[in-house]
Amino acid sequence: MKFINRYIHIFVALLLLSCGAKKYIKDIPYNYSSDEYLKDKTQQKDTSTSAYSIVDDNSEGLSDDTLRVKEKYSILMGVMPKDIKDYKLYSYVDGWLGTPYRKQMLEKNIGVDASYFVQALFSDVYGETFSKTPDGIFRSKDIQLFTGRSFLQEGDILFFRYDKSHPISDVGIYLHNDRIVACTTNGLNIYNFNDEYFQLRYVAAGRLKQK
C-alpha cells in the first residue's frame, strides 16, 4: 500500500509539471493582488512621512551669498545654521576678517582700528551713528549697558580696559557661542571670548536700545 501511495504522489507531481500544470497554477486562488500590495505600501509610506515635518532649508528665500555666509559662520561658531540670524552682521564682518591692525584707520585689507570698525559697522548695518572712540561708543545714549555674559546676543558691543588711564580702551563685537570679532596684533579676526587675554580686560557689554 505504501508503494501505491508513493506512486500516486509521483504521478500527481508529473501532472503538475505537464502543460496542464499552467492551468492548475492559474486556478489557485491568490487573495493578495499586486494592486493591493502597492496600495498597502503607499499607505505605509504616507503614514511614515506624516510622522515627520518636511524641512525647507531656505524657507526665507535667502540669496546664495547669504546662504554661504550662514553656513560658513554656523561652522565657525559651532552652532546650527538656524542659530545664525543676523545675516547682515556676518556678511559685513566677513569682508573685513584678516585686515591688519592700524591705529585710527579704516581701510579694508590695509589697516583697521577696532573702534573705527564698530562705528562703521553700526552705521552701515544698523543705521546708527557712534563716535569713533571706544569711550565715545561706551557713553552713547543709544546703548544699553550690562555686564552679564549670559545675556550676550549677536551684535552686542564688548568694551575692554587695557590701562588705568583709559577705562574704556577698546571694543569688539559679540557673535555667537563665545566667539567675538576684535582687533589684536594679529589683526581683525574672530577670537574666543573665554581666552584670558579678553577675560582680564572685559568691562561691560552694550546693546542698541529698542526704538
pLDDT in tens, 184-204: 988 999 999 999 999 999 999
Over residues 139-181, the pLDDT tens digits come to: 999 999 999 998 999 999 999 998 888 899 999 999 999 999 9
Task: Tell me if 182 sits within 8 A of 114, measured CB to CB.
Answer: yes
**Residue 133 carries which side chain, given as an amino acid letter?**
T
Among the residue ranges 30-39, 60-69, 119-128, 170-179, the one predicted with the least confidence is: 30-39
Instruction: Compute the distance between CA of residue 120 and CA of residue 30 in angstroms, rounded to an integer.
Output: 78
The CATH number fitting domain 64-208, selected from 3.40.140.10, 3.40.50.2300, 1.10.10.10, 3.90.1720.10: 3.90.1720.10
User: In this structure, what is the dihedral angle of CA atoms 73, 120, 143, 170, given to the nearest 10 degrees?
Assistant: 80
Expressed in angstroms, the distance from the first to the final Cα of the chain is 105
Can you give the pLDDT at residue 26? 37
**Residue 150 carries which side chain, given as an amino acid letter?**
S
Instruction: Compute the distance between CA of residue 144 and CA of residue 201 in angstroms, rounded to an integer.
Output: 20
What proportion of the chain, given as a percentage, has pLDDT over 70?
72
Report which of residues 86 and 27 the model is more confident about. Answer: 86
Can you give the pLDDT at residue 139? 96
Can you give the pLDDT at residue 19? 45
160 strand-pairing partners: 170, 202
Residue ranges in the chain assigned as alpha helix (H): 2-17, 20-27, 34-50, 64-77, 87-94, 114-126, 134-138, 196-199
Given a cut of 60, whether residue 1 has pLDDT beyond it is no
Instruction: List the grid coordinates of 122.
Output: 553700526
Report which of residues 17 and 171 the model is more confident about. Answer: 171
